[in-house]
Amino acid sequence: MGQLLAYGAYIPHYRLGRTAIAAALQAGGGHGWRAVASFDEDSTSMAVEAARQAGRRSDIRPLATYLATTSPAYLDKTNACVVNAALGLDSAAFAMDVAAAVRGGAGALIAAHDAPRPTLAVLSDLRGGLPGSADERDGGDAAAAFLFGAGPGIAEVIAVSSASEEFLDRWRLPGQPASRVWEDRFGESVYLPLAHAALTDALKQAGVGAQDVQHAVITGTNRRAVARFARETGFTEVTSDDALGIGNAGTAQVGLLLADALDRAGPDELVAVTLLADGATTLLLRTTPALIEQRDASPGATVRAQAAAGDDGLPYLPYLTWRGLLTREPPRRPEPDPPAAPPSYRNET
């Protein structure tokens, strides 16, 4: 089992204001913004950016890459191979996609931690839904990357616990543009016992209590269950999905919030991360003094700095075009052909 050697995160530049959604549809919306990947970005390109940031913080080259996403750029093709190629990794480095479910984010982290060789877990997602839906309003796009290997590292995973249950909380059929969701109040009653079981077991494995945790992260697909669980844990401070103000990035969200916690953590502090998706998974990490040394040596942009630096002026119609929800006449220019060149945001406005 490896230690955490380095991490990185990437939040795309554009922000879609929820008031822009309300103005266009005369319904829904709300306050704040969500992060939006540009027309020339996808889950793979965002994954590469996050992985490059992690790579700048460590000299260790990964010998395997796991890419977790619910929005793969390709099907019937291993997208993690593209990440390996972009990073210039040796062809002997193994590459695998962990796709189809939000829980894959936690799965990639655990698999990388358990691997006997230096392994990169990259979590990346584009989240959305049908126009006017809660998923469109509350979703977000982002990526995070974590390199595990032989220590000494910046943090050690000291406990992992999971509780699984088969129930229809959220699902999307192949080829469908949006998820179908069970009512939050029904999912809440299933999630809470599972979340408490996973957290309790992780704390017991580590021999600590909730009061010993300095940084707690709770995220998931059921906002109501996440909010109630956060109130019931006994943690003194909890970082949840609204903390960054860019929406919930699905598979990437658990990694993004973990990276944010590592941005702010000191040495010898406990970080508890719980994901509620098709059950519950808790990881408990203890930071080391090397975390501070690494941050000082390669500061980079923190997660919160990236979240605050976005362009919040993206109009709603270009967003719909980029997501394939609105088909528009492409610019009349000869390249590239085929396919037709995508309309650019700047030209549209």
Q: Write out the DSSP string of 163-212.
A: EE----SEE--TT-SS-EE--HHHHHHHHHHHHHHHHHHHHHHHT--GGG
Integer Cα distance of 316 and 250 in angstroms: 21
154 within domain boundaries: yes
Task: Give domain status of residue 326, yes or no.
Answer: no
Residue 278 lies in a domain: yes
Query: Is residue 256 situated within a structural domain?
Result: yes
Other beta carbons less than 10 A from residue 289's beta carbon: 12
**pLDDT for the residue numbered 299:** 77
Distance in angstroms (rounded) separating the CA atoms of residues 28 and 152 = 49
Looking at residue 349, its pLDDT comes to 44
- Look at the chain and report how many structural domains it folds into: 1
Whole-angstrom distance, CA of residue 50 vs CA of residue 312: 21
- In this predicted structure, what is the pLDDT of residue 78? 98
CA distance 74 to 133: 25
Distance (Å) of CA 259 to CA 61, 122, 149, 156, 263: 20, 12, 17, 14, 6
d(CA 91, CA 113): 22
Please give the Cα distance from 273 to 277 (Å, whole number).
13
Here the tokens at position 38 are: 């540009």
pLDDT at 265: 97
Sign of dihedral through CA atoms 33, 34, 35, 38? negative
Model pTM score? 0.93
The pLDDT value recorded for residue 339 is 53
What CATH number does residue 289 fall under?
3.40.47.10
User: pLDDT tens per residue, the chain (349 residues)?
Assistant: 899 999 999 999 999 999 999 999 988 778 899 999 999 999 999 999 999 999 999 999 999 999 999 999 999 999 999 999 999 999 999 999 999 999 999 999 999 999 999 999 999 999 999 999 999 999 999 999 999 999 899 999 999 999 999 998 999 998 888 999 988 888 999 999 999 999 999 999 999 999 999 999 999 999 999 999 999 999 998 998 889 999 999 999 999 999 999 999 999 999 999 999 999 999 999 999 999 999 999 878 899 999 999 999 999 999 999 999 998 887 776 665 555 555 555 544 4
pLDDT score, position 347? 46
Give the C-alpha separation, 164 to 278, whole Å. Answer: 6
pLDDT at 338: 53
Does residue 135 lie within any of the structural domains? Answer: yes
Quickly list DSSP for 36-98. E--TT--HHHHHHHHHHHHHTT-SPPPSEEEEEESS-S-SSS-HHHHHHHHHT--TTSEEEEE
In this structure, the number of other CB atoms found within 10 A of the CB of residue 77 comes to 11
Containing domain of residue 30, as a range? 3-301
pLDDT of residue 177: 86
Q: Quick check: is 92 in a domain? A: yes
Q: Does residue 291 lie in a domain region? A: yes
Residue 211: phi, psi to the nearest 5? Answer: -70, -15
**Predicted local distance difference test score (pLDDT) of residue 346:** 52
CA distance 10 to 309: 12
Residue 62 lies inside a defined structural domain of this protein: yes
